[in-house]
Amino acid sequence: MLQRDHGDRKDRKLARWKYTIRRLGLDRVRTELADTFGVELSDAEPVALPPMQLHLGWNEQRGGGGWYGLSVENGRLKGAQRRAARRVVDELGASVRLTPQQDLLLCNLADREGVESILREEGVAFPETVSLVRRNAMACPAKPTCGLAMTDAENILPRYIDALEEAGLGDVDVVIRMTGCPNNCVRPPTAEVGIYGYGKNDHVVLVGGSREGSRLAHTLYPRLAGEQMVPALVGLLRVLKERNAEGLPVGEFLHRTDPEQLRAWVGLEVEA
Ligand code: SF4
């Protein structure tokens, strides 16, 4: 009712409740909620976030049996992986959950052997054989699916990861997330390495978020062309592999390291 009376419906960009709160001010919203509706809001409290987990492979369920987590690249279930998932559902009666990491959990399975033999028969890679960098990465659909996209994301990130694996960097435990526009649907601004499209062939590269989502990344490169992305990522992951002497979580290392120093180590020539 507050939104009905005070929301701005004429301008779609300002139509959301958060903008109404900003316009009215938090104190007034609190007072109106309390006086008119008897709703008392308590203060927000910091909450410790649990570590990021992918839940891949076989995991025991409470009460018996287990679930099997499949690593689905950018959430796009297709080909052999799709056939295998369908068979696990049809033949083993699995129920399905999706994760915020774009992966698939096949749940309520009686045993591990059944699901693993279907994966083997369909030629699906077991999640532990997928490189760390690929398992951790996510991209939004971007072009051509999303009308707001300025650049590719889902279509191009797997190729960047191919290049990282070819450079011997697939085992770097880093979270890379990429979107095709600054709406950032797969959360690049909190990733350890975040990329978003911002122009026809321009990409912003951010570093230093935390994988739990509790810290914002800062800009490392404000504008990189598509042709510069592979050298930038290869250089960056090489820095993570070779320069992180204290063995910090990579987000922490990137957060603490001066961006000038990072750029010098990466060695990419960019226009000022
Ligand atoms: S981040 Fe942008 S391009 Fe990607 S899905 Fe969201 S709106 Fe579309």
What pLDDT does 21 receive?
95
pLDDT score recorded for residue 48: 86
Per-residue pLDDT, 272 = 63
Tell me the best of 74, 138, 152, 181 to mutate to test the pocket of ligand 1, counting ligand atoms within 8 Å of each CB and taking the most. Answer: 181
**Residue 113: strand pairing partners:** none
Residue ranges of domains in the chain, CATH in brackets: 2-35 (no CATH), 57-129 (3.90.480.10), 132-266 (3.30.413.10)
| Segment 82-108, tens digit of pLDDT | 999 999 999 999 999 999 999 999 999
Mutation pick for ligand 1 pocket among 74, 145, 185 (CB with most ligand atoms within 8 Å): 185
195 lines ligand 1 (CB under 6 A): no
Percent of the chain with pLDDT over 90: 87
* CA 195 / ligand 1 centre spacing (Å): 12
Residue carrying the six token digits 């099997």: 68
Give yes or no for residue 74 CB within 6 A of ligand 1: no
The structure tokens listed for 255 are 């957060």
pLDDT-flagged residues of the chain (< 50): none
Give the position, in ligand 1's atom list, of the atom nearest the Cα of 150. 3
Q: What is the C-alpha separation between 172 and 243, in angstroms, rounded?
A: 12
Q: Is 180 a pocket residue for ligand 1 (Cβ < 6 Å)?
A: yes
Q: Is the CB of 194 under 6 A from ligand 1?
A: no
142 lines ligand 1 (CB under 6 A): yes
Report pLDDT for 92.
Answer: 97
Distances (CA, A) of 268 to 105, 226, 272: 39, 13, 12
Residue 140 Cβ < 6 Å to ligand 1: yes
Q: Is the CB of 184 under 6 A from ligand 1?
A: yes
Task: Answer yes or no: is the C-beta of 240 below 6 A from any ligand 1 atom.
Answer: no
- Please tell me the residue having the least CA distance from ligand 1 atom 2: 181
CA of 145 to the centre of ligand 1 (A): 9
How many angstroms separate the alpha carbon of residue 198 from the centre of ligand 1?
A: 11
Ligand 1 neighbourhood includes 88 CB (under 6 angstroms):
no
Q: Are 195 and 206 in contact (CB under 8 A)?
A: yes
